[in-house]
Amino acid sequence: MSEPLTKRERMKLDRVEMIERDPEERASSFAEVNLGYTAEMAKLEAMRCLECAKPKCVAGCPVGIEIDKFIRLVADGEIGAAAEVIQRDNLLPAICGRVCPQENQCEGDCVLAKKERPIAIGHLERYVADYVRSEGFEHVAASAERTGKSVAIIGSGPAGLACAGDLIQSGHEVTVYEALHEPGGVLVYGIPEFRLPKDIVKAEIAGLEELGVRFETNAIVGRTYTLDELMAGNDAVFIGVGAGLPRFLEVPGENLIGVYSANEFLTRVNLMKAYLDGNDTPVLDVQGKRVVVFGGGNTAMDAARTAQRLGAGDVRVLYRRTEAEMPARREEVRHAREEGIIFDFLVSPTELHGEDGLLTGLTVQKMELGEPDDSGRRRPQPIAGELERFDTDLAVVAIGNGPNPLLLSTCPELERTRWGTIAVDEATGRTSMPGVFAGGDIVTGGATVILAMGAGRRAATSIEDWLADAVWELETEPEPVEA
């Protein structure tokens, strides 16, 4: 294998799929599903790269990782050097390699995607990150020169961590304020252990701490601190508080015991570890029970697969459109199916039924797809008279979140969009308040980890400009609040 392969030879190679835990075993285990590459597998997969002159994968990455370069280094066995290339653009590769929707980003733009065999960029990124972590490589050292400027970051989810990582590298003082008792945001309360082990999140956060980032937990900005206090004590503030209030179905019966928001269900299990003996947080018993999950995104997949692991007898995902419109990562849908999750498409709940305050069943309306809506997806519409009633013991609502009012209600001068999210200049993350930046779900509404990280990094670049020149100019005026 020492002779370089020709392009023709490379194109004949099959994509190296990651080793996965057996579906039967994992349906009752919170251990990680994907087991990673061996060194040999990583090298084989990296060798398939056609080394395009103008790599489209790089353009497809929201944070612009030099994918072609790091893959070349993996093929050469230079894993440490590959990690350095990745870390120039992404300080959290072990997380992104696991949770990015690569099929819509780098891998979707890979020239081999046309043949449905794109380079497994996510797998390779994860391999490199896991390798350097297990080998105890140091994080890229922060610049020795401290600038004496300080930045407060509100929220320790993907946007805040990415922003903090860039700013600490530039020599600024960075403090991250987290409302919960543990940093990580959605990475710790939302995404389950079997998809993103919490030890990995802890290690990535510990890496940022080593570089000098300070984390303050139990700090709810808008309550424990005001935005004004943070502005007075810092040269800039970044708001990355994520999505907030979970949406409910707005159908009768939604307050029955047995109806959870996905946020609550996942927080009880992931952050509070309700599934482990010796933890005091309870979660409703689903052993042998019937569970339905409403929604078609990654959160719905996470909730369904979590219920399965807690011992549910029968788990159904109910989605009002079809599989083609599901926003979930393809791998998550496949994994869910392998684990025995059932999918019912083109159904929408109209009522939840209960007895003595407990959920016992639901009625669903059958739907069909009509004309495309604003999102370009065909709009589901009810088929008159087609209702079905069935029994269930637990329902998890995973249909998205609205913005959290806690911070916003305490600073009315911060302009918002008609959806209640923070209005920003998209290229820079600058808000209507000089010195205040925002990014992630609090700006876009529910999106992905990597998009939030991209927004955190764009804001970091813009924060650098602001710290250097103190000029507050917006390319696009933030959209004003509509009454």
Partner 1 sequence: MYRIIESNFIAPEVKQFEVEAPRVAEHWQAGQFIILRVDDDGERIPLTVAAADRDSGVITLFVQGIGKTTRLLNRKKSGDFIADVAGPLGKPSEIERYGTAVVVGGGVGTAIAYPVVAALSAAGNRVIAIVGGRSSEYVLLEPELEATGAEVVACTDDGSYGRPGFVTEALKDVISSRDVSIVFAAGPVPMMKAVADVTRPHEIKTIASLNPIMVDGTGMCGGCRVDVGGNTLFACVDGPEFDAHLVDFPLLARRNQAYHDIEQRRLEDFEAECRVEAS
Q: Hey, which bits of 126-203 come out as E strands?
A: 150-154, 173-177
Q: Is residue 252 at the binding interface for partner 1, with CB under 8 A as the rule?
A: no
Q: Which amino acid is at 54?
A: K
| Window contacting partner 1 (CB under 8 A); options: 250-258, 296-304, 433-441, 461-469 | 250-258
Using CB under 8 A, pick the residue from 44, 220, 387, 481 that binds partner 1: 220
Residues 6+ apart with CB under 8 A from 473: none
| Triad 407, 412, 414: Cα angle to 5° | 80
DSSP H or E stretch at residue 367 = strand 358-372
Instruction: Provide the 10 A C-beta neighbour count for residue 279.
Output: 12
Residues 161 to 200: which contact partner 1 by CB under 8 A?
179-181, 189
Q: Report, in Å, the least distance between residue 223 CB and partner 1.
A: 6
**Site map for partner 1, 345-384, x if CB under 8 A?**
-----------xx---------------------------
Give burial (CB, 10 Å; 0-12/13-18/19+) of 256: middle
Residues 267 to 296: which contact partner 1 by CB under 8 A?
267-268, 272-273, 278-282, 284-285
Helices (H), 310-440: 330-338, 405-408
Q: Report, in Å, the least distance between residue 189 CB and partner 1.
A: 8
| Mutual angle of helices 67-75 and 79-89, in 10-degree steps | 170
| Window contacting partner 1 (CB under 8 A); options: 83-91, 93-101, 148-156, 402-410 | 402-410
If the CB atoms of residues 290 and 430 are measured against partner 1, the closer one turns out to be: 290
| Triad 394, 396, 399: Cα angle to 5° | 155
Q: Report, in Å, the least distance between residue 441 CB and partner 1.
A: 12
Q: Is there a contact between 65 and 90 (Cβ–Cβ < 8 Å)?
A: yes
What residues pair up with 319 in beta bridges, in sequence order? 345
Rounded to 10 degrees, the C-alpha dihedral 21/23/27/31 comes to 10
Q: Is residue 244 at the binding interface for partner 1, with CB under 8 A as the rule?
A: yes
If the CB atoms of residues 282 and 376 are measured against partner 1, the closer one turns out to be: 282
Q: Report, in Å, the least distance between residue 218 CB and partner 1.
A: 4
What is the DSSP track for 211-266?
HT-EEE-S--BTTTB-HHHHHHHSSEEEE-----SBP---STTTTSBTEEEHHHHH
Q: Is residue 108 at the binding interface for partner 1, with CB under 8 A as the rule?
A: no
| Window contacting partner 1 (CB under 8 A); options: 40-48, 130-138, 199-207, 249-257 | 249-257
Q: Is residue 412 at the binding interface for partner 1, with CB under 8 A as the rule?
A: no
Q: Is residue 233 at the binding interface for partner 1, with CB under 8 A as the rule?
A: no
Q: Is residue 231 at the binding interface for partner 1, with CB under 8 A as the rule?
A: no
If the CB atoms of residues 255 and 476 are measured against partner 1, the closer one turns out to be: 255
Picking from 70, 11, 28, the residue whose alpha carbon sits closest to that of residue 313 is 28
Helix, strand or coil, per DSSP, at residue 208:
helix
If the CB atoms of residues 254 and 465 are measured against partner 1, the closer one turns out to be: 254
Q: Is there a contact between 445 and 243 (Cβ–Cβ < 8 Å)?
A: yes
Using CB under 8 A, pick the residue from 28, 38, 143, 218 that binds partner 1: 218
Q: Report, in Å, the least distance between residue 303 CB and partner 1.
A: 13
If the CB atoms of residues 209 and 426 are measured against partner 1, the closer one turns out to be: 209
Using CB under 8 A, pick the residue from 405, 427, 476, 480 that binds partner 1: 405
| Window contacting partner 1 (CB under 8 A); options: 140-148, 219-227, 337-345, 451-459 | 219-227
Look at strands 19-20 and 34-36 and give their pairing.
antiparallel
Q: Which amino acid is at 43?
A: K
Per DSSP, 157 falls in state S
Residues 52 to 71: which contact partner 1 by CB under 8 A?
none
If the CB atoms of residues 65 and 179 are measured against partner 1, the closer one turns out to be: 179
Using CB under 8 A, pick the residue from 102, 261, 270, 431 that binds partner 1: 261
Using CB under 8 A, pick the residue from 51, 228, 233, 248 that binds partner 1: 248
CA of residue 205 relative to chain centroid, distance: 16
Using CB under 8 A, pick the residue from 225, 275, 294, 437 that binds partner 1: 225
Picking from 188, 187, 142, the residue whose alpha carbon sits closest to that of residue 168 is 142
Q: Is residue 87 at the binding interface for partner 1, with CB under 8 A as the rule?
A: no
Q: Hey, which bits of 276-346 come out as E strands?
A: 290-294, 314-319, 342-345
If the CB atoms of residues 280 and 374 are measured against partner 1, the closer one turns out to be: 280
Q: Is residue 219 at the binding interface for partner 1, with CB under 8 A as the rule?
A: yes
Binding site for partner 1 (CB under 8 A): 179-181, 189, 217-220, 223-226, 244-246, 248, 254-255, 257, 260-261, 263-264, 267-268, 272-273, 278-282, 284-285, 356-357, 404-406
